[in-house]
Structure formats: C-alpha cells, structure tokens
Amino acid sequence: MQIDLTGRTAFVSGSTQGIGRVIAARLAAAGAATVINGRAADRVDAVIGELRAGDPQARIDGIAADVSTPEGAAAVFAALPAVDILVNNLGIYAPRPLLEIDDETWQSFWNANVMSGIRLARHYLPGMRDRGWGRVQFMASDSAVVIPEEMVHYGVTKTALLGVSRGFAKAMAGTGVTVNAVIAGPTRTEGVEEFVRGLLGDELPWKRAEAEFMSRLRPTSLIKRLIYPEEIANMVVYLSSDLASATTGGALRVDGGYVDHILP
C-alpha cells in the first residue's frame, strides 16, 4: 500500500521522544507537513534538527508548549490554527502504590493524559468537519483494558481515552472526519527502559531484563518482547491516510497480542 500524505498538516503532541517522535518522523516521511511538540523550546529545536538531518526532504516544524494546560493549548492554537491530522500522544506515567496516590497526582495525570487531547480535538475538529476531511487519533494503551496494579492512575486515564475517542467519533459522524484510539502495547522507549530498570535493577543485561519483565508483568504477550515504536507508528500513519476512511470510532490494538480479548 502506498500512503501519501502530501498536502496534509499534522500535529503530534508530546513528540520530542519515544513513540511520539517516531510517529512524527513517519508522518513526515509520508509527506505530511508535521509539527512536533514538547514543553522545552531547546528540546523541540534539537529534535527538529535531528529529524531534518535524518530526512532532508521532510517538512518538520515545532511548537514548544505544555498542552496539559489551557495556556499551553492556546499557544498551540495561536501558532497553528488548523490541522488535518491530530495525534494526541502526550502522556505521563509512573508506578506508585494505589493507596499512596494523592489528589494532586491524580489531577496531573488527568490533565496530561486526558484533557490535553480533549482540548486539542475540541479546537481542531470543527475545521476538519467544515473541510470535509480529517484524522484524529488518541494514543491509548493496553493499560486501558488491563489496568496495571503498579500504576492504576495511568491506566484509568487511558481507559477514559477510549470513551473520549468514541464520543468525538460520534460527533463527527458523516463528515469525512475519523476519530480513533490506538491501543499501544508495551513498547521499548526510553521511558519504558527506565521503568523496567526501576523494577528489576541495573544488573541484568537488557535482553534478560526485557524477558523477565515480559514474563513477570506482561505474560500474555504473544510476541514475548517489547514492541518497537516504529510498529506503533505504522498503524498511526495508516489511520492518518485516505486508506482508513471507513475506520472510525474504533480502538485498534498494536499490542503484540498482550490483551487477551478478541475485541478491546
């Protein structure tokens, strides 16, 4: 399949590292004018340079703003009034015993993982609707349907994204705009490597630590390894294209078979 996003503008929140960075690079490689996002201007500028160096033909810009806040979202809207493709990727996670999670932590996770995407979608969807074409994706997680004991607060926010995505898809019914959630499974990013090391220590060689993590904490994975960010990005790029015009209101799994359900 040939995916050509030439003429489309894409915005990927929280995209200076991890899955978001790879998604942005893949969207740009497919021809979309892609805008990355992070909180720190120097980091955004550095990643723009790195991505352009890796693909000199790519059209990549950036906006430094914290979209977990209304003020940060407003800064994005001022710099980028309209987009064709919106990927709500921003997310934070950290393990913590459930009974030790205070109100402030719950609220910070809700603001970053849920409200950021709601604000962005609420702003950009009307323009997509009026133009008769648009793609919105909420980056969810296997934790949305298999709540992890070690970080319930994270899992709850990802569960919420499934409902939010479905609701926005209904609001866009019949308009040519699609809205979906992508259920990403355990993925090898910088943050996940730190998470695994935090649980298992630094003594084990990485391959053994990965295998131990999967067998102990993600035993139902059918690929028995962490997913590569590129494997998640491939789904996102497809959903961002004309080829996915009949896919909306869905929760699409790229989880290595980890979630032991026939449907999400």
Residues noted as catalytic: 154
| Amino acid in position 45 | D
Give the Cα separation of 89 and 186 in Å (integer): 15
The answer to whether 108 touches 92, Cβ cutoff 8 Å, is yes
Q: Which helix (H) or strand (E) holds 232?
A: helix 229-239
Give the Cα separation of 59 and 62 in Å (integer): 10
Burial of 207 (0-12, 13-18, 19+ CB in 10 A): exposed
Q: Could you tell me which of 186, 257, 182, 189 has the C-alpha nearest to residue 223? A: 257
The answer to whether 113 touches 90, Cβ cutoff 8 Å, is yes
Tell me 13's DSSP state.
Answer: S
Handedness of CA 170, 84, 26, 121 (dihedral sign): negative
